[in-house]
Chains A and B, each alone.
Chain A
């Protein structure tokens, strides 16, 4: 009946197929607006990265490269820089030049490393990705599982112990936890190496190399995970407690579902959504956390690089790293959004 009315409204030439095509176009449009949000955010980040140094008082070159760097600069280099940054041109043309340079992968020149900023960052990035990636995955997974089990046993011994223990751990800052772990397991017990990401010049390959990397990773990873796990845990536990009161849990129990099915398939999956969102929001925190932990463990990642760049006032490098980090955060959010619509069918339909 309804279909008939719809067809009638759409006129005779738009049949059922026409309607389907329209639906598709609408869906595509929704997709478009979804991605355009990210594109707009990206453009704003680029613009800020471009505008901010230029808004500083004095010579833009000085603002971008710092006073000391400028002192060491030869007139040829200055001329080259001026032309590369299009400083002798209008602001619009400068922006175009900046974007073009970015597109060709040119983030500027690090005078401390005397290398392209991009290549410097790329040298250090894998270690940070390894550290933050594993920390993110492990802390989220552990938080989820602990939260599900704890929420399911609300008020019982396991729940109380976990809650108290994790709350206690989350009170420490990352770097403090790092120092404690370094002292206890590295210095006193000698179980983990004190610095670095792998044993230099060891000539290891294959599995021994992987184990060596893992060995170096353990302590900084543990420091990050121990502090981060609590937020995922707490959120999962609390969501779990609310979800368990929902009616569909009763429906599932009435069907004769096993405890495991109720815990994970029904309650767990429904508790996952806020945790995924929160994980996305946690990524920036994790990156700043990694920065400190990398410094404590002298772990050769982007955090450690940023720290050194700050010490040496290597402005192009700092700027490059900040751009990288903001883009990384943006990408992480995009991933979370995509994942979210996969996890919750209601989201993709609402859009």
Chain B
């Protein structure tokens, strides 16, 4: 059993690990993911007792504190009880020794007196067990391919059948095919051990480890089962990491995380880059706490639900345009609401923003956890809407400046000159000119794309948390549409803007949304991660919608139901070997 308690490591003044706690039992595999510089490798080296710096805290292996051992005792444990598979970088193997000799060294380092023949035999068996031919043993590292070198490194780490195995970027420098082979090999060899997988490659982590810890600036911010954590990230940083890592089912455009990692900030380490921070985040360090199926270190309990609809109904006379909708929209997320005309999408949007009255009854709309009863100025500061026809949505009697500054006037924010400055800043954000000539233009004097940007600027000028976009680009050219959508995604990345994106264009929705909700006759008939809904739809109506736009993809439909939970967004299941190999 490996127990890490309050492990802290500093290089010079910077705290690289700021208190890490982990408990691992035999057979556990844990992936540590995070950006470079998060302290992943430091953690691995600390467990190996290979840190130059003094570490504080405790690392207990079967009750023995590794950090308190002297170099001599530690040496005896390294490679025997705890071993590390290094990344196959250029010089991970000694260039002057044959592979066999290097593996043999790993064995003899822990033998008092070894029978040379027996050692040779063990080397041969090890080579075979990692899929290396015996005659490769006599080769020097420069004569081997990257995959072969990686195999040799694995053989070396396995030489003494260690209890704890640390895999440091085990596949980072390999091509996709070799990567799959090595991953497959590792999965076979690491059973019954305590395994730490250190990587920034989420797909490798998903394949090798059952549990996953996300490390940020020396602290674990989220810890949970690999599959759950990847399909439903709850810390904003985890979501950011996943959004920036493509896999073969990624549909939404890649998004990054604003800012860069800084160690040693007061309060939550992620607060500077977080779009949902509150004052407390800057002051206090959040502790890693149990939250449902996992542990999260966040003062807000993870990504907050911004808008929650439950059983929302809107009727016109006897006709129920929206007939009992449940939907939750999280901070910084896009939900695409798709469906044909008349399915109730726009009615739902207008109900949320307050243009239509919701039916009396059980239904509830919550914004940031609070039930909406009346919509005052505060509400419109947080929620804004943009419409299908930009030229119609801007008053013909207002020029650009007046149109964008109007929400500020309504909110009574700032003096006229301050408002002007704010308008200019927002115009820059939406990539429009800020000169006086443009500010004085009227809607009929600008193009459709420009008008929609002005509409977006007007919606964003109050810095809302939620943007309801009702067919925002259907009146625009394809190229202008692409630019506007990129703009929205960038704003989402920068500000954590949540977007309720209403469209009948599924192909478009697929590129901008995290989740997709399909509406039919006032009800949501299917909802899920966009890639799942678009590749393996369950509801017949969704299938029909997809078949209309992509008839050639039809055979894949309906597969999701039969899946046993493996697969999904991230391939967490067994990887079939790609080439026939002898093992």
Contact = CB atoms under 8 A, between A and B. Distances in A.
A27 to B, nearest CB: 15
Given A256-B109, A258-B109, A269-B96, A251 B153 contact: yes
A247 B156 CA distance: 14
B165 to A, nearest CB: 11
A344 interface: yes
Contacts of B89: 247
A274 B97 CA distance: 17
Interface string A123-143: 000000000000000000000
A265 B159 CA distance: 20
Given A248-B91, A261-B105, A261-B109, A256 B86 contact: no
Contacts of B245: none
Contacts of A251: 86, 92-94, 102, 153, 156
A246 B91 contact: yes
A351 interface: no
Contacts of B92: 247-248, 251
B252 interface: no
Contact of B105 (A257, A270, A349): A257
B130 to A, nearest CB: 15
A269 B96 CA distance: 8
A346 B156 contact: no
Given A247-B89, A257-B105, A261-B105, A252 B78 contact: no
B105 A255 contact: yes
A250 interface: yes
B300 interface: no
A278 to B, nearest CB: 18
Given A261-B105, A346-B142, A256 B79 contact: yes
B369 interface: no
B83 interface: yes
Interface string A252-280: 11111111010001100110000000000
B110 interface: yes
Contacts of A345: 95-96, 140, 142
A343 interface: yes
Contacts of B84: 254
Nearest to B579: A1
B86 A346 contact: no
Contacts of A346: 95, 140, 142
B142 A256 contact: no
A265 B84 CA distance: 20
A26 B534 CA distance: 59
Contacts of A261: 105, 109
Contacts, number: 78
Question: Looking at chain A, what size class is its interface with the partner chain?
Answer: 20 to 34
B76 interface: yes
Contacts of B96: 269-270, 343-345
Given A256-B76, A345-B96, A345-B140, A250 B50 contact: yes
A248 B93 CA distance: 5
B75 interface: yes
A270 B48 CA distance: 24
Interface string A223-250: 0000000000000000000000011101
Nearest to A257: B109
B77 interface: yes
A73 to B, nearest CB: 60
B143 interface: yes
B80 interface: yes
B268 to A, nearest CB: 33
Contacts of A259: 71
Interface in B85-116: 86, 89-97, 102, 105-106, 109-110
Nearest to A258: B75
Contact of A253 (B50, B140, B143): B50
A266 B79 contact: no
Nearest to A345: B140
Contact of A255 (B95, B109, B142): B109
Most chain B beta carbons < 10 A, residue from A247, A270, A344: A247
Contacts of B105: 252, 255, 257, 261, 265
Given A255-B105, A345-B142, A247 B86 contact: yes
The 9 lowest CB-CB distance pairs between A and B, nearest first, are A256-B79, A255-B79, A255-B106, A256-B78, A256-B109, A248-B94, A345-B140, A247-B92, A254-B84
14 contacts: A247-B91, A248-B92, A251-B153, A252-B105, A254-B48, A255-B106, A255-B156, A257-B79, A257-B105, A270-B96, A343-B96, A345-B140, A345-B142, A349-B142
